[in-house]
Amino acid sequence: MSIIMTLVIALKALNRNKMRTILTMLGMIIGVGAVITMVALGRGAQSTIEDQVKAAGTNMININAGNFSTGGVRQGQGNSTTLVPEDAASLREVPGVQYVAAGVNSRSQVIAGNQNWSTSINGTEVDFPLIRSWPTKYGAFFTQQDVNSAAKVAVLGTVVANTLYGEDVDPTGQIIRIRNQPFKVIGVMSSKGTGAMGNDQDDVIFAPYTTVQKKLQGITHIQNITVSATDANTAPVAAAIEQQLRLRHKLIGNDPNDFMVRTLEEMASVRTETTKTMTTLLATIAGVSLIVGGIGIMNIMLVSVTERTREIGLRLAIGARGKDVLLQFLVEAIVLSLLGGLLGIGMGYALSGAAERFLSWPTSIPPEAIAMAFGFAAVTGVFFGFYPAMKASRLDPIEALRFE
């Protein structure tokens, strides 16, 4: 019997009892729909988690000036003067690097009117708020022109702004003094809170690194470079950065680095574990849903074999082979699972859209999830339909014809 004829017979058999066919497919529809919906919700949750962790800096790479030794005494990290602005500029060409900001740090007493406050002065570049996903609350961050001209402009952290000017006051346009140098306040950063190391990220003032170099410290080198990678997997980018800086600093062979490259490994590992947990959860849900749908198909197919025993016996008696009967029932099971899978995919899209619209939950359905769900539906149909089909093919024709 040809496969086309077998398919036609299977469709006619399923069409004879529409309600039972629909109820049989319902388990597969719900199973595949649940898989698609869970994957969509899970991917949306992963995307949200990744954005939050990324905002906290999991894709950041910090390059600090290295050790400086004199007379056999090591001065420790950050004392080397070999890190220069040109090093930071060269990193923009490294594959996987998204943003780069050279940095020079200082600490000073800041005066505004009759108020004063001791805080960190972070000299940086225009990419810094993009690296940290850190918008301004008032005003704006400084521009590239401010960096090029070493302009005396400052962007305050909220702690500094609140201490010097009071709560919820916009100090944009005011003048503060840092080491007797007047700086114009051009903005206030939004509140960032406590950092991973327990430091207050809002107790800071940002200024162009060129201004801190020339007007506050009188140096030409930089102390650090902050890099944002395009992906949370920062290890390959960190290795490429190290190679680039070694070439620029003419370090060969076993020469030790005069700089230090550090990634936020702890936060990256948190992201990895979160992703693994989410993936395991989704896989478990998918497996249970599809198994339930498959068991439903097997149960109904067993009932169908019992009801159609006389029909099977008649076919076997007039010359049908056991493998023909096996193929017929197997095709019926596969058709049930595939039709259920297609309807389940539609149901998954509908539920995902509803969740995004009415619950404001971000969703994302990757193409591989569709292929996986449809493939599992086919495999489930074959797996759970095989036993009923095998039972039907092994019926004795005489006993089947006597069946009441």
3-class DSSP state of 91: helix
The top-scoring range by mean pLDDT among 56-60, 247-251, 388-392 is: 247-251
- Give per-residue pLDDT as tens, 169-191: 999 999 999 999 999 999 999 99
Most confident region among 43-52, 233-242, 373-382 by mean pLDDT: 233-242
Residue 118 has pLDDT above 70, yes or no: yes
Distance CA 220, CA 204 (A): 22
Report residue 72's pLDDT band, with 50, 70 and 90 as the boundaries.
very low
Q: Is the pLDDT of residue 125 over 80?
A: yes
Q: Is the pLDDT of residue 319 over 90?
A: no
Q: Where residue 73 falls among pLDDT bands split at 50, 70, 90? A: very low
Most confident among 120-124, 262-266, 270-274, 338-342 (mean pLDDT) = 120-124
Better pLDDT: 124 or 37: 124
Share of the chain above pLDDT 70, in %: 75
* pLDDT of res. 95: 92
Contacts of 96 (CB under 8 A, 6+ apart): 229, 230, 231, 236, 237, 240
| DSSP secondary structure letters along 243-288 | HHHHHHTT--TTPPPSEEEEE-HHHHHHHHHHHHHHHHHHHHHHHH
CB neighbourhood size of 163 (10 A): 18
3-state secondary structure at position 32 = helix
| pLDDT computed for residue 174 by the predictor | 95
CA distances 296 to 286, 313, 333, Å, are 16, 25, 11
Mean pLDDT of the chain: 80
User: Does residue 198 have a pLDDT over 70?
Assistant: no
C-alpha–C-alpha distance, residues 136 and 149, integer Å: 22
Quick one: what percent of the chain has pLDDT higher than 90? 33
Question: Is residue 1's pLDDT more than 60?
Answer: no
* Nearest 10 degrees: Cα torsion 150, 152, 158, 160: 120
Q: How confident is the model at residue 364 (pLDDT cuts 50, 70, 90)?
A: confident
- Top pLDDT among 43 and 100 is at 100
Task: Tell how far CA 99 is from the center of its chain.
Answer: 19
With b meaning 16 or more CB within 10 Å and e meaning fewer, what string describes 310-327?
ebbbebbeeebeeebbbb
Kindly list the domain boundaries of the chain, sorted by start residue: 3-52+271-402, 60-263
pLDDT tens-place string over residues 240-267: 999 999 999 988 888 888 888 888 765 5
**pTM of the predicted protein model:** 0.56
The single-letter code of the amino acid at 89 is A
Residues 6+ apart with CB under 8 A from 217: 104, 106
Radius of gyration of the chain (CA): 34
Mean pLDDT (whole number) for 33-54:
72
9-18, 46-55, 336-345, 372-381: which range is least confident on average? 46-55
Least confident stretch, 23-27, 47-51, 158-162, 268-272: 268-272
